[in-house]
Chain A
Amino acid sequence: MKKIALSGLLLSLLTACASQTTKPVAPVTPAADASATTGKPGTAASAEVDPLDDPKTGLTYRSLYYALDVDVIQDADKPLVAAHAKYLSTHPARNVRLEGNADERGSNEYNLALAQRRADGVKKLLLLGGAKEGQLTSVSYGEEKPRNTNHDEDGWAENRRTDLNYAK
């Protein structure tokens, strides 16, 4: 699948610059692929490959996107969160940081609160899916760390986001 191949490429780019950035790179809207691939997150685990790094598992998608001023997880993203919850429950040594972001519309403080609510919402769903409290940290960057610095709809859409940032 073309998108899967793309995400594999992005992942290798991510690995290449992992020392400089803590941001997972997955700008492709994850919904469709996630639901198509999350049926077997554990099966790809040949001895060496962490399913997290295996494009076939869907777990390389680590960003959720939102509508303006909304912190509710979109239905299409729920399978993705469920897949990560399952991975975390079967990999209790792994920890993930949930990083909420907002676009720049609204006050900085309001956006900080909104993005915290986005991250906290993902944390809640991961807990429901079997992850443990100790594996999860939720933080907010508000509008302060835009991935896309354009002041337009496309830029804003990319910045309304929660990233799942796994500790190395």
Chain B
Amino acid sequence: MILRTLMSFTLLLLVSSAQAALNIQIIGAGERQIPVAIIPFAGEDKLPVSLSSVISADLARTGLFRLVDPAGKAPHQPAEVNYAEWGGVEAIAIGSVAAQENNRTEIRFRLLDGVKQVELLGQAVSGRDSQLRYIAHRIADTIYEKLTGVPGVFSTRIVYVNRNKSKFKLIVSDSDGYGEQVILDSDEPIMSPAWSPDGSHLAYVSFELGHAAVFVQSLVTGQRKAVASFNGSNSAPAWSPDGRQLALVLTRDGGSQIYLCKPDGSDLKRLTHGDAINTEPNFSPDGQYLLFTSDRGGSAQIYRMPVDGGSAQRVTFEGGQAFSPRHSPDGKGFVFTYRNGGRFYIATEDFETKQMQLLTDGGWEKRPSFAPNGKLVLFASDAAGRGILSTVSSDGKVKQRMSAQTGDVREPMWGPFLNQ
């Protein structure tokens, strides 16, 4: 028996509300679903969070798993599992919780292979009530990785803007939409939030100074600074993979031009010229290239250029328009918004084949970003005229819609893996 102690984690954001801010709806399913059973942990009914429910919901959302109802069976130790009762179930998660000193709870869980009848892994974690959802997401990540070979993203976070009439909120939440935290409250528009690679800062555009200006805000201290507020518009911040540079867009010199600077706004260096719109820069994972949107060819399309200068190459060639490019985590392609015939689609393209693949059926779909494992894409869509968040698996097979209870949800971006 191996008990690994994980996660003496520091949560970057300390307050976590457990209220259900978003309702989640899953559409479609993967072709082959792995049957798994998540048994309610012994003693979890005394906790404010049902760990097994959070884990089950995380796994179900991917479309890769079929959650098998335990049907009253409640083993909590490996010795209590009668494998004969779990025919066909490939993985069984069991566990227990115990109160510790200082209002902490210890959670022990094990993942069992239902076919080979062996223990796949075991963990013990301890945390406060406010950390229970996070711990459950981490357990779901562990299970996901063990069963698929790909790191899970359930414990990562997302950022988005909530617009309610003329009130704007910049919000960070768990990847499942719970644990909403208001990062900025404003009577003026907020747009284009972008995570720093280590998840410790957000860059975004706020109109609080009367025009679009780029701010950088620490999620640890809450400190914020306007790093670009020149005449005209300052917008579209994007972090370099090493976190040492921002790409952003300024109009102070005519047209919309892409610049590089340090995250404090110093050392501005202009990258594009001409009268066209150049916007929405996004660094490649190796930091060598920028994808961006430009109408230099007559309509909005995606271009790619070296960060250290050199000419830009057009990379989207379909009819219609293309916006908001973002590299996939492996750097082999990108996701973007494709507009044609009055509809907006989420699409991907592979650099090598130059083939566009539509991931969605189209409608009102904007600002896609990959989950850090590359398996899901988060984007803004709408339902009954209101902005909502949606995800689609990167193969287009599984869709999920999260609808906030009030206001319009806009401008989402999926955050990075957090190193513990």
Interface residues of A (CB under 8 A from B): 69, 105-110, 112-114, 116-117, 120, 137-142, 144-145, 151
Contact = CB atoms under 8 A, between A and B. Distances in A.
A116 B251 contact: yes
Nearest to A115: B233
SS of A interface (majority): mixed
A151 to B, nearest CB: 6
Interface string B360-391: 00001011000000000000000001000000
B251 A107 contact: no
Contacts of B327: none
A108 B300 contact: no
A141 B299 CA distance: 21
A141 B209 CA distance: 12
A69 B323 CA distance: 13
A144 B339 contact: no
B277 A139 contact: no
Contact of B280 (A110, A114, A117, A137): A110
Contacts of A114: 277
Contacts of B231: 137-138
B191 A109 contact: yes
Interface range, B side? 35 or more
A116 B293 contact: no
A113 B366 contact: no
Contact of A139 (B232, B249, B364, B385): B232
Contacts of B364: 151
A139 B210 contact: yes
Contacts of A69: 295, 299-300
B248 to A, nearest CB: 10
B210 A108 contact: no
A106 B233 contact: no
Nearest to B323: A107
B251 A109 contact: no
A140 B280 contact: no
B279 interface: yes
B233 A110 contact: no
11 contacts: A106-B323, A107-B323, A109-B236, A110-B277, A110-B279, A110-B323, A113-B277, A117-B256, A117-B277, A142-B212, A142-B233
Contacts of A109: 191-192, 235-236, 249, 279-280, 293, 323-324
Which 8 A-B pairs rank lowest in CB-CB distance, beginning with the nearest? A144-B189, A107-B323, A113-B256, A139-B211, A113-B277, A107-B324, A116-B233, A109-B279
Contact of A141 (B207, B277, B366): B207
Nearest to A123: B232
B217 to A, nearest CB: 19
Contacts of A138: 231-232
Nearest to A119: B232
Contacts of A116: 232-233, 251, 256
B233 A139 contact: yes
Contacts of B299: 69
Nearest to A140: B233
B138 interface: no
Interface string B195-218: 000000000010100111000000
A122 to B, nearest CB: 13
A73 to B, nearest CB: 15
Nearest to A105: B339
Given A108-B192, A120-B232, 6 more contacts: A107-B293, A107-B324, A107-B367, A109-B279, A112-B235, A138-B231
B280 A141 contact: no
Nearest to B337: A107
